[in-house]
Copies of this chain bind each other. A is one copy, B any other.
Amino acid sequence: MSDNTEFVKKLRSVGLRPTKQRLKICKILFDRKNTFHFTISDLQKIIKTKIEEKVSLATIYNTVHSFKKKGYLKEISINSDKSYYDTNITNHHHFLDEETNELLDLDDNDISNLKIKKTIPGKKIKSIEVLVKIANNN
């Protein structure tokens, strides 16, 4: 309840009502130090496990979509099976562990300075992101 005010403000600032479902999800997603990469079913499992009450699957989808639309979440495409979301909404790079399918953020200075030398007339660059796939040695 103490922390909630922060999320209530966050939600209000973009015109979303602070319902108990949205606050619950806020706490799961944003009350942490590190970036959180998740799928809808990851989130559903966490809610089912770590939280007392239930939230319908439709609401999980709706809420994640609202957060994405408002810019609180970013969608990541690493797999066409299901959507991945990221609480780090900046443009950034990733390690993708092929064994576990887990994502890990890379800092800009984990990667050498990146320059795109090719241009397309009439088009401009919106983002540049690197995906580094990793797997167990040998």
Contacts and interface: CB of A to CB of B under 8 A. Distances in A.
13 contacts: A77-B77, A80-B83, A95-B118, A98-B126, A112-B114, A112-B117, A114-B130, A123-B135, A124-B134, A126-B134, A128-B130, A128-B133, A131-B131
A137 interface: yes
A78 interface: yes
A119 to B, nearest CB: 9
Nearest to A131: B129
A53 interface: no
Contacts of A117: 109-112
B122 A126 contact: no
**Interface size classification for chain A:** 35 or more
A136 interface: yes
Contacts of A136: 122-124
Given A80-B83, A123-B136, A131-B129, A110 B114 contact: no
Nearest to A117: B110
A127 B118 contact: no
